[in-house]
């Protein structure tokens, strides 16, 4: 068991190092875009499914609450949290549009969407990106593997250097915490 644990940790560290190496400029650009969005009085939106939905909620809470510094709240909305909207839209239309329809209602030009999909091919996340583009909303995509369709639909794509879902999700968390810290250090 000890060897298995050490192997898992070593893989996680290696994926994070490779992800940083391949995405340093994208992480900087994403941080700068979020800073610009918040400085101009606009909102952040986040979406994803499963673990990525949880990440959306987690990171929105870091912006609304605080990450490490006491400061004013920043507008960040996880499109994964309104169970009435999600179930009504999924039932009345299609689950594919549950994020796009909310973004159409709540978003405006100058806002920013952070779209998370481990595979890069989640239909509802891709539809949200298309809606963002139609609405003049800037986009950051966070994914893994080869990037999937998501990578081609975003203004900035950050792609974790792995095909293993667990390692991708672990890398996403360090990416998001890094961005939160950079944004907070700049604006707070």
43-69 pLDDT, tens digit each? 999 999 999 999 999 999 999 999 999
140-154 pLDDT, tens digit each? 999 999 999 999 999
**What pLDDT, on the 0 to 100 scale, is given for residue 134?**
98
27-46 pLDDT, tens digit each? 999 999 999 999 999 999 99
H or E element, residue 29: helix 2-39
Report d(CA 72, CA 187) in Å as an integer.
Answer: 10
**What pLDDT, on the 0 to 100 scale, is given for residue 36?**
98
Report d(CA 187, CA 32) in Å as an integer.
Answer: 11
In the structure, what pLDDT confidence band is assigned to residue 18 with cuts at 50, 70 and 90?
Answer: very high
Instruction: Evaluate whether 129 touches 142 at the Cβ level (below 8 Å).
Output: no
**What pLDDT, on the 0 to 100 scale, is given for residue 73?**
97
**What pLDDT, on the 0 to 100 scale, is given for residue 116?**
98
Q: Domains in the chain, please, with CATH?
A: 2-187 (3.40.50.10490)
In the structure, what pLDDT confidence band is assigned to residue 11 with cuts at 50, 70 and 90?
Answer: very high
101-149 pLDDT, tens digit each? 999 999 999 999 999 999 999 999 999 999 999 999 999 999 999 999 9
Query: Could you tell me which of 124, 121, 130, 176 has the C-alpha nearest to residue 150?
Result: 121
């Amino acid at each position: 068991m000890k060897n298995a644990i050490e192997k898992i940790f070593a893989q996680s560290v290696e994926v994070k190092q490779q992800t940083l190496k391949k995405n340093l400029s994208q992480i900087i650009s994403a941080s700068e875009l979020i800073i610009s969005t918040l400085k101009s009085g606009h909102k952040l939106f986040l979406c994803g499914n499963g673990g990525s939905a949880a990440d959306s909620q987690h990171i929105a809470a870091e912006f609304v609450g605080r990450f490490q510094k006491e400061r004013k709240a920043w507008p960040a909305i996880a499109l994964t949290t309104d169970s009435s909207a999600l179930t009504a839209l999924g039932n009345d239309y299609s689950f594919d549009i549950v994020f796009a329809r909310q973004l159409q209602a709540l978003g405006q030009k100058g806002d920013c969407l952070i779209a998370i999909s481990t595979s890069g091919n989640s239909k509802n996340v891709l539809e949200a990106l298309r809606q963002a583009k139609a609405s003049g909303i800037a986009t950051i995509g966070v994914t893994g593997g080869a990037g999937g369709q998501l990578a081609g639909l975003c203004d900035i794509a950050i792609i974790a250097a792995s095909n293993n879902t667990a390692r991708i999700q672990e890398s996403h968390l360090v990416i998001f915490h890094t961005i939160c810290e950079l944004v907070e250090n700049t604006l707070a």
